[in-house]
Chains A and B, each alone.
Chain A
C-alpha cells in the first residue's frame, strides 16, 4: 500500500531558552517570523518562514535550517500536517 506522504508546512515549533527576546533575535537572524509562544508551553515558540513552500512532501532545506545549530535552540520541529477526523 502507498505509504502516506508527509506534508511539511512552513511553520516550525522551536524550544529556545532565555526568553522571548532571545527567541526574537534568533528568528530574525534566520529569516523566521516569531509568532509567539505556543499556548502556555514555556520556552516553546511558533516560527513562520514565509519563503518556504506552504505544503511540501519534502522537509525544507536552506540557510534557515541552520537555525538548529544555534546553541540556544534546544529543539526544533518543522510542522507536518496531520489527518484529523471528526468523530
Chain B
C-alpha cells in the first residue's frame, strides 16, 4: 500500500493551448493531492501536454484512487509495458 508506482493520470483533450499552462495545471493537481509543490515535483514523471492532457506520476494505490475520483480525471491506470513485435 505504501509503495509508490508509476500511474498514468489521463485528463482527455487539453483545455488550454499553452503547454506550459497545461503542465502547471498538472503540478497543481498533484500538489493538492500530495500536499506540497515539492512532493508533486518529486512524484511527477511526465506531463502530457501537446496532443492531449495528462501526466505520469509515482503514486501509492490510495493516492491513485483518490485522484481518480476528481471530476476532471477520465481515468487512472498503473503503468504497463509493451514489447517489440
Q: Do A and B belong to a common assembly?
A: no
B contact residues vs A (CB 8 Å cutoff) = none
